[in-house]
């Protein structure tokens, strides 16, 4: 592929992430997360969230999400989420696996945001012994369709859930992009989120994500839970180090801001130079385009990585490494499809 706009997972490590890994390799360090590097990375996250949370680093976002949801629901219960959320469409039943049967209830909503009325309707469904009742809500920020919840939108979704005593999980795989778009990370704890997945991989890190437990009672025997699920690293410093490098240099924010800027550049070019329509608002680092299958295939054949998403639109994702040159060449290729 000439340039890969298929995912922000395809870019390499951001320079600060790679340097963090190199720095962590010097000398010896205590094992299983008792090292200074892991502690510093956790402190960096706490500072950004302005919260005294319990934090652990795991090998993937799927594991982080699934373990988090298993903390909030019993096996005979379910989690409410947008029907296009990663936990519903891209984790091969991991929430149910880690949660020993925890179910998922998909909810509608435009551009990846859960519709508040649909959520209330689901919460008001009568409980019967023949199906799993909801026990938690899973939100995604930024969403799978590249939109960013406002604080008010999140509040309207979280308050009725918390009023029923249910838990709230936030999938922050692209939290850096939401922050770069103006979302205040300090709102997460204040809104009542119980457990957050703080994203590193898509921001330019290794494969690591952090499980952030604002409700410290969820951390009871967390290390046993992680060990049993194969998510407790012996050389834990190598999980935390790339994220630490990005956080201490602020490349976590800077890279996301650049990715968002490149997405806006791409979206503006598509809107003004091509006959194709944008399928969703461009608020983070993803651009969704209504494009015929023939045009999409032509792009792929020419070496441009992008793929058709759940709603039928073609998704282009800009990573921290996306360049103006790459975006402009992609635009030229799209224009030439006519």
pLDDT value at residue 313: 98
How far apart, in whole angstroms, are the C-alpha atoms of residue 67 and residue 98?
A: 6
**Stretch 149-175: mean pLDDT, rounded?**
98
Q: Are 306 and 300 in contact (CB under 8 A)?
A: yes
Q: By C-alpha distance, which of 72, 78, 119, 114 is closest to 96?
A: 78
**Stretch 254-258: mean pLDDT, rounded?**
98
Q: What is the pLDDT of residues 131-160, one digit of tens each?
A: 999 999 999 999 999 999 999 999 999 999
Q: Are 151 and 141 in contact (CB under 8 A)?
A: no
pLDDT value at residue 18: 98
E-strand spans in 64-204? 78-82, 103-107, 134-140, 167-172, 195-199
Report, in angstroms and rounded to the nearest whole number, the Rg of the chain calculated over CA atoms: 20
Q: What is the pLDDT of residues 190-247, one digit of tens each?
A: 999 999 999 999 999 999 999 999 999 999 999 999 999 999 999 999 999 999 999 9
When pLDDT is cut at 50, 70 and 90, the band that residue 1 belongs to is: low
Q: What is the pLDDT of residues 116-131, one digit of tens each?
A: 999 999 999 999 999 9
pLDDT value at residue 3: 74
**Stretch 264-277: mean pLDDT, rounded?**
97
Is the confidence at residue 297, as pLDDT, over 80? yes
As a whole number, the mean pLDDT across the chain is 96
Is the confidence at residue 338, as pLDDT, over 90? no
Q: By C-alpha distance, which of 209, 201, 326, 205 is closest to 261?
A: 326
The share of the chain scoring above pLDDT 90, in percent, equals 99
**Stretch 154-174: mean pLDDT, rounded?**
98
Secondary structure (3-state) at 252 = helix
Structure tokens at 254: 């800077």
The share of the chain scoring above pLDDT 70, in percent, equals 99
**DSSP secondary structure of 191-232:** HT-SEEEEE-TTTTSSS-EEEEESSGGGGTTHHHHHHHTT--
Is the confidence at residue 2, as pLDDT, over 80? no
Which residues, in sequence order, are CB contacts of 132 under 8 Å at separation 6+? 76, 77, 78, 102, 103, 105
Q: What is the DSSP letter of 83?
A: T
Q: What is the pLDDT of residues 16-68, one digit of tens each?
A: 999 999 999 999 999 999 999 999 999 999 999 999 999 999 999 999 999 99
């Amino acid at each position: 592929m000439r340039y890969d706009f298929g995912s922000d997972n395809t870019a390499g490590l951001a320079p600060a992430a790679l340097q963090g890994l190199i720095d962590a390799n010097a000398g010896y360090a205590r094992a299983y997360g008792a090292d200074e590097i892991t502690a510093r990375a956790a402190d960096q996250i706490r500072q950004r969230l302005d919260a005294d949370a319990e934090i652990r680093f795991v090998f993937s976002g799927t594991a982080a999400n699934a373990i988090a949801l298993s903390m909030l629901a019993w096996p005979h219960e379910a989690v409410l989420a947008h029907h296009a959320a990663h936990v519903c469409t891209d984790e091969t039943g991991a929430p149910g696996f880690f949660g020993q049967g925890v179910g998922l209830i998909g909810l509608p909503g435009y551009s990846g945001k859960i519709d508040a009325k649909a959520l209330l309707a689901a919460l008001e469904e009568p409980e019967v012994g023949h199906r799993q009742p909801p026990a938690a809500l899973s939100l995604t920020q930024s969403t799978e369709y590249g939109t960013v919840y406002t604080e008010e939108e999140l509040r309207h979704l979280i308050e009725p859930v918390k009023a029923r005593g249910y838990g709230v999980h936030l999938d922050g795989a692209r939290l850096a992009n939401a922050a770069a778009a103006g979302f205040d990370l300090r709102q997460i704890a204040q809104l009542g989120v119980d457990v957050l997945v703080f994203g590193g991989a898509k921001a330019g890190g290794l494969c690591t994500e952090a499980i952030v437990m604002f409700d410290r009672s969820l951390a009871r025997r967390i290390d046993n839970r992680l060990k049993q699920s194969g998510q407790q690293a012996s050389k834990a410093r190598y999980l935390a180090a790339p994220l630490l490098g990005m956080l201490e240099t602020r490349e976590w924010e800077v890279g996301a801001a650049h990715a968002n800027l490149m997405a806006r550049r791409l979206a503006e070019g598509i809107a003004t130079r091509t006959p194709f329509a944008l399928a969703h608002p461009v608020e983070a680092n993803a651009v969704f385009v209504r494009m015929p299958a023939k045009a999409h295939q032509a792009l792929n054949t020419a070496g441009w990585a992008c793929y058709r998403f759940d709603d039928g639109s073609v998704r282009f994702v800009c990573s921290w490494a996306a360049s103006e040159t790459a975006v402009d060449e992609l635009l030229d290729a799209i224009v030439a499809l006519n």
